[in-house]
Structure 1
Amino acid sequence: MSKLIIPQGYKMPLSNYELQRAIELVKAQFQSSICSSLNLHRASAPLFVDGATGLNDDLNGVERAVSFDIPDVGTHGQVVHSLAKWKRLALKRYEVPMGAGLYTDMNAIRRDEEVDNLHSVYVDQWDWEKAIDRNDRTMEYLKDTVQAIVDCIWQTARCLRIAFPAITFSPSNAVHYITTQELEDLYPTFTAKEREHAICKEYGTVFVMQIGGLLNSGVKHDGRAPDYDDWTLNGDILMWNPVLEQSFELSSMGIRVDETALDKQLSLAGCDDRRTLPFHSMLLNGDLPQSMGGGIGQSRLCMLLLGACHIGEVQASLWDEATHKGCEEAGIVLL
């Protein structure tokens, strides 16, 4: 069933040809900026991994991976959901020095995604991971990195407005930091999503911290797998979307679990069976580098900076018939 939202009077400010050029500019400019800012270098990324290794991102633990047999290899491949765990293993394999990192141009399929204006079964993002010192596992280091990423977004938006004067969106690079518990205390009667809308409408750019554990109310703000982010040192970068008039998530990121955090979170999540998987065993034994990382949505960033109301305007995917019909009637071109 279509969940399409078309704002009253909406019109994409660029022609179809200009839109493709603008998407190219956003991706090239942001990629260059973040690599320079965070000291990242490109690494080739897998489209699929061995399902028996535990390397695939389990997201909220209920999403089904696209799986297929590989007879000549003798195993089943899983199309990745994201590369959260693979990247940390890659830091070790590629002998990435402390203070440097890698990024990948990641493409994924999330077959169980509920598609709407913001969500597609096709995922494209910059997945990045950086080797850090154990002493850098602090809130201050996390916030400094968030600010660096937001500054890259601000710079990309500035370049876009210069190249395409019809684009007027200017994001705020003044980040408001708030924990999920502080957010619940501030808006106790709101749902998690309503809280995000309210705080973003007030501040423009927000980093919502400490996602994954239970709040005082006994519920989670949002789900997080227990085996990559440290739930006390992670968060989402959100910006206010003036076209859709709601908060807009651009990145999920954080400082990764160390041995102690992984041990605790596996128990809290009821996932103790993962301890014997190759990735988890290496982590619990201290064989993987300390790191931080995240994913930054490519189509999400293009959508926000270009003023698109539907993610299908900036990426090619599959949509239900009602969405196609509604967009056609509104003059919205889905790629």
Structure 2
Amino acid sequence: MELIIPQNYDPRLSVRETQEAIKYIRDTFQKELGKEMNLERISAPLFVERSSGLNDNLNGVERPVQFDLSGVPGETMEVVHSLAKWKRMALHEYGFQPGEGLYTNMNAIRRDEDLDNLHSCYVDQWDWEKVITREERNENTLKETVKIIFKIIKHMEHEVWYKYPQAVKTLPDDITFITSQELEDLYPKLSPKERENAITKEHGCVFLMKIGDKLGSGKPHDGRAPDYDDWQLNGDILFWFEHLNCALEISSMGIRVDETALSDQLRKAGCEDRKALPYHRMLLNGELPYTIGGGIGQSRLCMLLLDRAHVGEVQASIWPDEMRKECRKNNIFLL
């Protein structure tokens, strides 16, 4: 996606008012998330040891930011892409039980990200993870959890309206569920992103399920790392966003792999060498709890609720000079 400038764009809040609104949204949402989902706030790392296998490999081609530490010779540190695997390990280490979970602030650097209205090299999200039983590893658990998160986001619309009625975006009342195969069957001639846009524009908010495995066309809808989400029990929460005429992903989440799903997905992805890593060995040996978890974009949520055209309006990051100049000319003030 290239830079998109909406016609006659009006942010409706000053930069300082926007900063105040960002803090209000972040403070309020994480409290609601913790309360509604029974999640405890914990601290999380900015980087992990490469040899641990804990970093999120995303689509497998992104390069993590790496460095060494004088105090840990012979080891390479990686700035996290996300905390998808680290959270599950933390639940094990801290003794969380079924029905209990955690959330944390996740900050990441993604050096290979294309920079546009929606994408930044800096990622900030609430990473959350919850222990479930083996019997709860099913689609109903996934859907009920999605409904809770949607309810929290919808409630945030009313919270923001109360303080900033001139700026809040009106959200749909319901979320629609559809699988990636159903979506391909519905729009066989469209690309995956075009399909997402078409279904989300129609319904306003969609949870697109089962992402990662090959579809009938022989290609996956989108790439997913093989070692955290179960590709049959995951999905993305998408909202239609008029300013950019596209679907806005707010959350990627899912029930995590068990021993069988991990082995199967590593084989399909050609990554069976990962079985030798400490995290993967623990999982295959049944030493880690069964969990459900995901990430919820902090800046993306602020962007959605405040109806902003560029993520840089709600997040301090690095942008090309030409992008900054073009945005400023069109009333888009990048932090």
Bin of the TM-score, shorter chain as denominator length: over 0.9
Matched, 1:283 2:271: no
| Residue 92 (structure 1) aligned with residue 92 (structure 2) | yes
1:226 aligns with 2:226: yes
Q: What are the residue-to-residue correspondences of 1:1-335 with 2, within 5 Å?
A: 3-74=2-73, 75-335=75-335
| 1:310 Cα offset (Å) | 0.3
**Per-residue deviation, 1:76:** 1.3
Deviates more, 1:15-24 or 1:131-140: 15-24
List gaps (5 residues or longer) in structure 1: none
Q: CA deviation at 1:25?
A: 1.3
For 2:203 and 2:188, locate their aligned partners in 1 and report how far apart those are by CA, in whole Å. Answer: 19
In structure 2, C-alpha distance between the alignment counterparts of 1:168 and 1:242, rounded to whole Å = 14
Contact 2:206–2:237 (Cα < 8 Å) also in 1: yes
With structure 2 as the length reference, what TM-score do the two structures score? 0.98
Cα contact 1:7–1:309 (8 A) shared by 2 = yes
Amino acid at match of 2:17: E
Q: For residues 110-131 of structure 1, give each alpha carbon's deviation from its aligned partner in whole angstroms, at most 9, with x where no partner exists.
A: 0001111000000000000000
How big is the shift at 1:173? 3.7
**Helix, strand or coil for the counterpart of 1:52?**
helix
The 1-side partners of 2:168 and 2:87 are apart by 36
Shift of 1:242: 2.1
Shift of 1:331: 2.3
Contact 2:11 2:167 in 1 (8 A): no
CA contact (8 A) 1:69 1:77 kept: yes
Contact 1:150-1:173 within 8 A present in 2 as well = no
Q: Which moved more, 1:311-320 or 1:68-77?
A: 68-77
Q: Is the 8 A contact 2:11 2:331 kept in 1?
A: no
Identical counterparts, % of pairs:
57
Distance in 2 (alpha carbons) for counterparts of 1:168 and 1:122: 24
Inter-partner Cα distance in structure 1 for 2:329 and 2:2? 15
1:168-219 CA distances to partner (integer Å, 9 max, x unpaired)?
4121241100000000000000000000110011101100000000010011
- Could you list the per-position Cα deviations for residues 229-274 of structure 1 after superposition, in whole angstroms to 9, with x for gaps in the alignment? 0000000000111222211100000000000000100000000000
Q: Counterpart of 1:22 in 2: which secondary structure?
A: helix
What CA distance in whole angstroms lies between the structure 2 residues aligned with 1:13 and 1:154? 21
Q: Distance in 1 between matches of 2:35 and 2:183?
A: 33
Give the letter aligned to residue 9 of structure 1. Answer: N
Q: Do the aligned residues in 1 keep the contact of 2:9 with 2:331 (CA within 8 Å)?
A: no
Match of 1:238, SS state, is: strand
Structure 2 unmatched ranges of 5 or more: none
The Cα shift of 1:156 comes to: 0.7
CA distance in 1, matches of 2:314, 2:304: 10
TM-score relative to the length of structure 1: 0.98
CA RMSD of aligned residues (A): 0.9
- Count of aligned pairs between the two proteins: 334
The 4+ residue runs of structure 1 with deviation greater than 2 A are none
Q: Equivalents in 2 of 1:172, 1:210: separation in Å?
A: 23
CA shift at 1:11, angstroms? Answer: 1.3
Query: Take 1:244 and 1:282, find their aligned partners in 2: how far apart are those partners?
Result: 43
* Matched AA of 1:103: Y
Please give the alpha-carbon distance, in whole angstroms, between the structure 1 residues aligned to 2:99 and 2:32.
17
